[in-house]
């Protein structure tokens, strides 16, 4: 049977959290440690978890596997070899396998080992900034990596799809320089680009500095404005904005794993702090590495910190919101309007009239938000959801 592009995607994806990094940057709220001494215990615990969930793939391979962090490629080569070996039941047959990495961590030896995974390899480099001032604002202490030089070096050594992540900061951010580099990256064959505005999250060094009055009051507002201008600039340069913060060389170069999740597909989450959704059940693992190690031991124990069963209404609302994030848009038949049909039509007319989106009627009526509409995503989604009838 051919899958309708609006159906909930078939199959399951796998996300693996590797909570190790050479340093903790000031903006980072992810549960990571800089202590490699905990690696053996982590890998033992991950192996227990893999054994418990591998039966989910007895009859099929994962849609994708995403190994995030932290910086999975920064762990010692022997530990990386063991990580890849114990994830083998998932890696075999997966059409896409992503490894997150700090740009300086991809040594020739690491690249050679990763390249043996197969043709679906994807590398996601956390570049974060193009200049020392922005990197310093993020609290990262490693030297600035030139994106163009790094890409050229990788292209000589691997056939993997390559993505780069950047965090857009405040006053020190140079929009024209950044857009110029992204123009050169596209011309040099970069496959994918993710950009995010700097957000000060709780329990981070930046949050502490803010509470002490050591950051500018409008830091996040300035970063958000720079990010909006940057998104518009990237679209003008020919990058395909297929999701709010994600850009691809073409419609074929989007991240398969993330698209699967945004479309409402099921995914397993392994490792401390990892999330998963299977059917209407959503779970989150404990964030503490030590607690994860403790709970993972034993045949019938799971390292869950939280587990909830979503109602059909909650699942419907989530899918409606996440599909609005994508450039494939939202099928209007999902807006089950009943007595609110007139209200929904009014909202849609306002969206189109104000340039916040268009209704594509090529095969089916689909609402696709414009760049300006994506900047107003939350308010647009809230209005549409409030006017929609329960599924």
Pair 14, 270: CB distance under 8 Å: yes
How many C-beta atoms surround the C-beta of residue 50 within 10 A?
A: 18
Average of pLDDT values for 119-131?
A: 95
The phi, psi pair for 25, rounded to 5°, reads: -75, 155
Average of pLDDT values for 212-230?
94
pLDDT of amino acid 300: 60
What are the pLDDT digits (tens) for 257-295?
Answer: 999 999 999 999 999 999 999 989 999 999 999 999 999
Q: Are 215 and 158 in contact (CB under 8 A)?
A: no
Instruction: State the average pLDDT over residues 352-375.
Output: 91
The stretch 104-114 carries a mean pLDDT of 95
Question: Is a pLDDT exceeding 50 seen at residue 325?
Answer: yes
Q: What angle do CA 220, 263, 6 make, to 5 degrees?
A: 135
What's the burial of 376, exposed, middle or buried (CB within 10 Å: 0-12/13-18/19+)? middle
d(CA 15, CA 217): 36
Number of other CB atoms surrounding residue 266 within 10 Å: 19
pLDDT value of position 5:
57
Separation in Å, CA 347 to CA 197, 243, 342, 380: 28, 22, 9, 9
Mean pLDDT over all residues of the chain? 92
Long-range contacts of 80-87, Cβ-Cβ distance < 8 Å, separation of 24 or more? 80/110, 80/113, 81/113, 82/43, 83/18, 83/43, 83/46, 84/113, 84/117, 86/43, 86/46, 86/47, 86/50, 87/16, 87/50
The predicted pLDDT at position 2 comes to 36
pLDDT, mean of residues 22-31: 91
Which band of pLDDT confidence, cut at 50, 70 and 90, is reported for residue 3? very low
Residue 178 contacts by C-beta under 8 Å, 6 or more apart in sequence? 130, 166, 168, 230
User: Is the whole-model pTM more than 0.85?
Assistant: yes
C-alpha 298, offset from chain centre: 31
Q: Which of 168, 98, 160 is nearest to 129 (CA)?
A: 168
Closest CA relative to residue 239, chosen from 217, 254, 224, 226: 254
Tokens 């929009």 found at: 175
Structure token digits, residue 117: 């995974």
Closest CA to 20 of 64, 84, 78, 80: 80
What pLDDT is attached to residue 273? Answer: 95
> What pLDDT is attached to residue 152?
97
Between helix 77-86 and helix 39-53 the angle, nearest 10°, is 10
Report yes or no: 254 and 246 within 8 Å, Cβ to Cβ: yes
Both tokens of residue 167? 């965090």
Nearest to 177 by CA among 190, 168, 189: 168
With pLDDT > 90 as the criterion, what percentage of the chain qualifies?
77
Residue 235 neighbours by CB under 8 Å, 6+ apart:
241, 247, 371
Task: Measure the N-to-C terminal CA separation of the chain; round to a whole number of Å.
Answer: 25
Q: What is the pLDDT of residues 154-196, one digit of tens each?
A: 999 999 999 999 999 999 999 999 999 999 999 999 999 999 9
Q: Which of 99-103, 132-136, 333-337 has the highest mean pLDDT?
A: 99-103
């Amino acid at each position: 049977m051919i899958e309708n592009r609006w159906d909930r995607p078939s199959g399951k994806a796998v996300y693996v959290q590797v909570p190790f990094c050479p340093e903790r940057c000031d903006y980072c709220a992810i549960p990571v440690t800089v202590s490699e001494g905990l690696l053996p215990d982590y890998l033992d615990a991950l192996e227990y978890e893999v054994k418990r969930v591998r039966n989910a793939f007895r009859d099929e391979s994962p849609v994708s596997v995403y190994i995030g962090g932290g910086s999975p490629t920064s762990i010692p080569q022997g530990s990386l070899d063991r990580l890849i070996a114990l994830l083998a039941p998932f890696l075999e047959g997966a059409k896409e396998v992503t490894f997150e990495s700090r740009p300086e961590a991809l040594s020739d030896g690491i690249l050679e080992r990763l390249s043996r995974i197969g043709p679906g390899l994807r590398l996601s480099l956390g570049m974060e900034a193009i200049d020392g001032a922005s990197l310093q604002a993020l609290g990262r202490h490693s030297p600035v990596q030139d994106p163009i030089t790094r890409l050229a070096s990788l292209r000589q050594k691997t056939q993997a799809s390559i993505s780069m992540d950047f965090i857009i900061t405040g006053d020190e951010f140079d929009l024209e320089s950044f857009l110029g580099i992204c123009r050169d990256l596209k011309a040099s064959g970069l496959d994918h680009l993710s950009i995010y505005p700097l957000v000060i999250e709780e329990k981070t060094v930046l949050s502490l500095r803010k509470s002490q009055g050591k950051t500018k009051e409008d830091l996040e507002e300035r970063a958000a404005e720079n990010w909006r201008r940057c998104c518009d600039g990237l679209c003008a340069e020919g990058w395909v904005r297929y999701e709010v913060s994600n850009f691809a060389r073409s419609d074929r170069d989007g991240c398969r794993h993330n698209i699967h999740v945004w479309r409402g597909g099921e995914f397993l989450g392994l490792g401390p702090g990892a999330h998963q959704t299977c059917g209407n059940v959503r779970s989150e693992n404990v964030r503490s590495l030590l607690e994860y190690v403790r709970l993972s031991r034993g045949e019938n124990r799971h390292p869950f910190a939280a587990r909830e069963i979503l109602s059909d209404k909650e699942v419907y609302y989530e899918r409606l919101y996440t599909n609005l994030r994508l450039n494939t848009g939202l099928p209007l038949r999902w807006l089950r309007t009943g007595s609110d049909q007139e209200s929904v039509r009014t909202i849609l007319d306002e969206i189109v009239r104000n340039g916040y989106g268009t209704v594509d009627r090529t095969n089916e009526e689909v609402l696709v938000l414009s760049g300006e509409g994506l900047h107003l995503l939350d308010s647009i989604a809230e209005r549409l959801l409030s006017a929609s009838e329960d599924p």
